Amino acid sequence: MSKELNQLALEKLYKRIDIRLFSENNTDHILEHLKNVKENLQYTRELVVEDECIAEETTSVQYGSVGLPDLRCWTGSGATNADPEVRDSRLEQVLNLIPANALRTFR
Protein backbone atom coordinates (compact mmCIF):
# COMPACT_ATOMS: atom_id res chain seq x y z
CA MET A 1 0.00 0.00 0.00
CA SER A 2 2.79 2.42 0.88
CA LYS A 3 4.51 1.99 -2.50
CA GLU A 4 1.27 2.69 -4.35
CA LEU A 5 0.66 5.87 -2.33
CA ASN A 6 4.24 7.00 -2.87
CA GLN A 7 3.86 6.45 -6.62
CA LEU A 8 0.61 8.39 -6.71
CA ALA A 9 2.16 11.23 -4.70
CA LEU A 10 5.13 11.46 -7.09
CA GLU A 11 2.85 11.63 -10.10
CA LYS A 12 0.82 14.45 -8.52
CA LEU A 13 3.83 16.32 -7.15
CA TYR A 14 5.69 16.56 -10.45
CA LYS A 15 2.68 16.87 -12.76
CA ARG A 16 3.06 20.65 -13.11
CA ILE A 17 6.20 22.75 -12.73
CA ASP A 18 6.09 26.56 -12.62
CA ILE A 19 9.31 28.46 -13.22
CA ARG A 20 9.73 32.21 -12.90
CA LEU A 21 12.76 33.08 -15.01
CA PHE A 22 12.58 36.73 -13.98
CA SER A 23 13.54 35.70 -10.45
CA GLU A 24 17.10 34.40 -10.25
CA ASN A 25 16.49 33.03 -6.75
CA ASN A 26 13.45 31.06 -7.87
CA THR A 27 15.13 29.73 -11.00
CA ASP A 28 18.31 28.65 -9.23
CA HIS A 29 16.33 26.93 -6.47
CA ILE A 30 14.05 25.10 -8.92
CA LEU A 31 16.98 24.07 -11.12
CA GLU A 32 18.92 22.60 -8.21
CA HIS A 33 15.83 20.74 -7.00
CA LEU A 34 15.09 19.34 -10.46
CA LYS A 35 18.66 18.12 -10.86
CA ASN A 36 18.32 16.20 -7.58
CA VAL A 37 15.06 14.51 -8.59
CA LYS A 38 15.69 14.01 -12.28
CA GLU A 39 14.22 10.48 -12.29
CA ASN A 40 10.84 11.85 -11.11
CA LEU A 41 10.53 14.30 -14.01
CA GLN A 42 9.08 11.50 -16.12
CA TYR A 43 5.78 12.41 -14.43
CA THR A 44 5.89 16.07 -15.53
CA ARG A 45 3.05 16.83 -17.92
CA GLU A 46 2.87 20.61 -17.74
CA LEU A 47 5.65 23.19 -17.71
CA VAL A 48 4.72 26.85 -17.14
CA VAL A 49 7.45 29.41 -17.73
CA GLU A 50 7.13 33.08 -16.80
CA ASP A 51 9.88 35.23 -18.27
CA GLU A 52 8.55 38.55 -17.01
CA CYS A 53 6.74 39.65 -13.91
CA ILE A 54 3.03 40.21 -14.49
CA ALA A 55 1.19 42.34 -11.98
CA GLU A 56 -1.59 40.71 -10.05
CA GLU A 57 -5.03 42.14 -10.56
CA THR A 58 -6.49 44.14 -7.69
CA THR A 59 -9.94 45.59 -7.18
CA SER A 60 -10.58 49.32 -6.91
CA VAL A 61 -13.81 50.71 -5.51
CA GLN A 62 -13.89 53.42 -8.18
CA TYR A 63 -12.61 51.52 -11.20
CA GLY A 64 -13.22 47.79 -10.65
CA SER A 65 -10.37 45.45 -11.60
CA VAL A 66 -7.04 47.19 -12.01
CA GLY A 67 -3.63 45.66 -12.81
CA LEU A 68 -0.93 47.37 -10.77
CA PRO A 69 2.78 46.68 -10.98
CA ASP A 70 3.99 44.33 -8.30
CA LEU A 71 7.08 46.20 -7.13
CA ARG A 72 8.55 43.03 -5.63
CA CYS A 73 9.30 41.99 -9.22
CA TRP A 74 11.80 44.80 -9.64
CA THR A 75 13.04 45.27 -6.08
CA GLY A 76 13.91 43.02 -3.20
CA SER A 77 14.38 39.27 -3.44
CA GLY A 78 12.50 38.95 -6.73
CA ALA A 79 14.66 41.50 -8.54
CA THR A 80 16.77 40.43 -11.46
CA ASN A 81 18.71 41.98 -14.26
CA ALA A 82 19.10 38.62 -15.95
CA ASP A 83 20.42 38.76 -19.44
CA PRO A 84 18.03 37.12 -21.93
CA GLU A 85 20.80 34.67 -22.84
CA VAL A 86 21.09 33.64 -19.17
CA ARG A 87 17.33 33.11 -18.95
CA ASP A 88 17.35 31.08 -22.16
CA SER A 89 20.23 28.99 -20.86
CA ARG A 90 18.38 28.22 -17.62
CA LEU A 91 15.24 27.26 -19.52
CA GLU A 92 17.29 25.01 -21.78
CA GLN A 93 18.79 23.31 -18.71
CA VAL A 94 15.30 22.62 -17.34
CA LEU A 95 14.05 21.28 -20.67
CA ASN A 96 17.06 18.98 -20.93
CA LEU A 97 16.17 17.43 -17.56
CA ILE A 98 12.62 16.49 -18.61
CA PRO A 99 12.43 13.27 -20.62
CA ALA A 100 11.39 13.44 -24.27
CA ASN A 101 7.63 13.15 -24.88
CA ALA A 102 6.76 13.67 -21.19
CA LEU A 103 5.27 17.17 -21.55
CA ARG A 104 1.75 17.65 -22.80
CA THR A 105 1.53 21.38 -22.13
CA PHE A 106 4.28 24.00 -22.39
CA ARG A 107 3.33 27.60 -21.71
The count of structural domains within the chain is 1
Q: Is the separation of the CB atoms in 25 and 77 below 8 Å?
A: yes
| CA dist., res. 67 & res. 54, Å (int) | 9
Q: What is the pLDDT of residues 70-92, one digit of tens each?
A: 555 544 444 455 677 888 888 89
Instruction: Work out the percent of the chain whose per-residue pLDDT is above 90.
Output: 21
User: pLDDT digits over 34-53, tens only?
Assistant: 999 999 999 999 998 887 77
Residue 89 belongs to domain spanning? 2-106
46 strand-pairing partners: 16, 105
Residue bearing the bigger pLDDT, 82 or 96:
96
Residues 1, 18: Cα–Cα separation, whole Å: 30
